[in-house]
């Protein structure tokens, strides 16, 4: 099982990548945000000794069925949905305009996930 610390390291790695991305790539900013969130969540699940995470489906199921993760679920599932869709679109900026990335993808989804993970892991 991958350790909590390893997931946190990858979370921070992806975070640095997201911060470095040019505004010409809003679709990839969604994807980068999603993988920041995924590793943040997996760090928490590792911390909580949840061992059954072998796919997106099993991760989503754990989030849906566990009250402890309610705040994360509310932000993560839309981000999962959005990232799954946007990567296949020929004109992704029409589906998610650049002006929505910071306001909604990052502030509305990624920040609450990170904040909740930090709280539950006991890092803040």
Partner 1 sequence: MSTTKQSQKHIEESDQAVVLHPDNNDLFLRTGKQIIAACRMNISIDVWFSEFNGMLHRVKGWVHEHESRVSLCYCAARGSQITFFFVPSSDTFDFDLADELVSLNSELVTSFNVGMVEIHQIPGGDVDRFLNPDESRLVYGDDRSAH
Q: In the complex, which residues of this chain contact partner 1 (CB under 8 A)?
A: 57, 60-61, 64-65, 73-74, 77-78, 81-82, 84-85, 88-90, 94-97, 100, 104, 108
Closest CA relative to residue 23, chosen from 108, 81, 93: 93
How far apart are alpha carbons 82 and 106 in whole angstroms? 12
Task: Name the minimum Å distance from CB 91 to partner 1.
Answer: 9
84/123 with CB nearer partner 1: 84
Q: Given the structure tokens 């566990």, which residue do they identify?
A: 66
Cβ distance to partner 1 smaller for residue 6 or 71: 71
């Amino acid at each position: 099982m991958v350790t909590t610390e390893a997931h946190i390291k990858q979370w921070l790695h992806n975070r640095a990548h997201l911060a470095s991305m040019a505004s010409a790539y809003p679709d990839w900013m969604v994807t980068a945000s999603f993988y920041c969130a995924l590793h943040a969540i997996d760090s928490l699940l590792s911390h909580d000794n949840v061992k059954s995470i072998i796919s997106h489906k099993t991760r989503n199921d754990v989030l849906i069925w566990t009250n402890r993760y309610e705040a994360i679920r509310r932000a993560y599932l839309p981000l999962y949905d959005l990232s799954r869709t946007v990567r296949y679109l020929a004109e992704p900026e029409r589906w998610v305009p650049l002006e929505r990335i910071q306001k909604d993808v990052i502030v509305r989804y990624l920040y609450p996930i990170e904040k909740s993970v930090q709280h539950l892991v006991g890092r803040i």
